[in-house]
């Protein structure tokens, strides 16, 4: 069975020659040009390796990389804008990429790197230690369908509210700092101004999920450290 490589980015003039060079290595290739398409292909196709263009302006490459690394062992090669220099490549590695190259590098060299990574890794698996849901006896969160229920009643959340809640629910009873939550929700590793909005979304979530938002029993604050969900995960 051939290995599968997923290429993600909005620049077809960059990705198509690279896809051809990788395909010549007897590797099946698919190209996704939007966040929605990339996410769907990731779950449905289960690629063995991912090449992610972090120089795309409209594509949330950082968010995709963090999300994919959380759920799969497939190696990720980051394509970095050469104008960012070595700092850009190092940042990509620090954020979870297994390798980083410049967008301007030879497609044959990048294809050779893909082949080398696939030789060193076995078949990737979705992380079995991360359940697809959180349930505490009252609150049910389905991560894949992005649905939330409280005592069987559907709760309507905005995309950012759900993203903040999902960060906490994937790590119940573990304190997450404002910076950690902001990094996962906005995929912005350096912007500390995101910490204020995190507090705002915590406030909104408490209004929707707590019996008394002024005296929360579910989303708690460890003063000086961050927030956490107090209840452990229970089986459905």
Q: Sort strands 153-154 and 147-150 into parallel, antiparallel or unpaired.
A: antiparallel
Residue length, the chain? 236
pTM: 0.57
Do 90 and 153 lie in one domain? The reply is: no
Does the residue 234 lie in any domain? no
Q: Quick check: 108 pLDDT over 80?
A: yes
Does the residue 125 lie in any domain? no
Do 9 and 115 lie in one domain? The reply is: yes
Number of C-beta neighbours around residue 49 at 10 A:
24
167: phi then psi, degrees, rounded to nearest 5: -55, -45
Residue 167's DSSP bridge partners are none
What CATH number did the domain enclosing 13 receive? 3.40.50.2300
172: containing domain:
133-229
Q: Look at residues 91, 120, 149 and tell me which one is the last residue of a structural domain.
A: 120
What average pLDDT does the chain have? 86
Do 138 and 218 lie in one domain? The reply is: yes
For residue 138, what pLDDT band results from cuts at 50, 70 and 90?
A: very high
Ramachandran quadrant class, 106 (left: phi over 0; alpha: psi -120 to 50; beta: rest): beta
Do 36 and 66 lie in one domain? The reply is: yes
pLDDT value for 96: 81
pLDDT in tens, 197-232: 889 999 999 999 999 999 999 999 988 888 999 888
Do 114 and 10 lie in one domain? The reply is: yes
Q: Sort strands 139-142 and 133-135 into parallel, antiparallel or unpaired.
A: antiparallel
Q: Quick check: 16 pLDDT over 90?
A: yes
Q: Quick check: 113 pLDDT over 50?
A: yes
pLDDT value for 123: 57
pLDDT value for 179: 82
**CA distances (Å), origin 137, targets 87, 152, 170:** 46, 10, 16
Which candidate, 154, 178, 156, places its Cα nearest to that of 167? 178
Do 212 and 159 lie in one domain? The reply is: yes
CA distance 149 to 168: 16
- Which ranges of the chain would DSSP assign to H, the alpha helix? 12-23, 35-45, 61-71, 85-94, 107-120, 159-169, 178-186, 195-209
161: phi then psi, degrees, rounded to nearest 5: -60, -45
For residue 129, what pLDDT band results from cuts at 50, 70 and 90?
A: low
């Amino acid at each position: 069975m051939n290995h599968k490589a997923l290429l993600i980015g909005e620049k077809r003039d960059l990705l198509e020659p690279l896809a051809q060079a990788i395909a010549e290595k007897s590797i099946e290739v698919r190209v996704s040009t939007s966040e929605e398409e990339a996410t769907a292909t990731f779950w449905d196709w289960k690629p063995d390796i991912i090449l992610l263009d972090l120089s795309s302006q409209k594509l949330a490459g950082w968010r995709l990389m963090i999300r994919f690394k959380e759920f799969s062992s497939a190696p990720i090669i980051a394509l970095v804008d050469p104008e960012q220099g070595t700092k850009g490549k190092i940042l990509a590695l620090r954020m979870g990429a297994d390798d980083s190259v410049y967008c301007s590098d030879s497609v044959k060299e990048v294809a050779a790197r893909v082949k080398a990574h696939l030789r060193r890794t076995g078949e990737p698996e979705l992380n079995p230690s991360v359940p697809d849901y959180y349930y505490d006896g009252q609150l049910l969160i389905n991560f894949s369908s992005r649905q939330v229920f409280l005592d069987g009643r559907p709760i309507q959340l905005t995309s950012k509210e759900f993203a903040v809640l999902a960060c906490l629910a994937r790590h119940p009873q573990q304190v997450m700092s404002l910076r950690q939550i902001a990094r996962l929700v906005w995929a912005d590793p350096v912007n500390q101004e995101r910490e204020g909005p995190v507090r705002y979304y915590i406030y909104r979530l408490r209004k929707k999920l707590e019996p008394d938002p002024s005296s929360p029993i579910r989303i708690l604050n460890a003063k000086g450290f961050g927030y956490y969900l107090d209840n452990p995960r229970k089986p459905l």
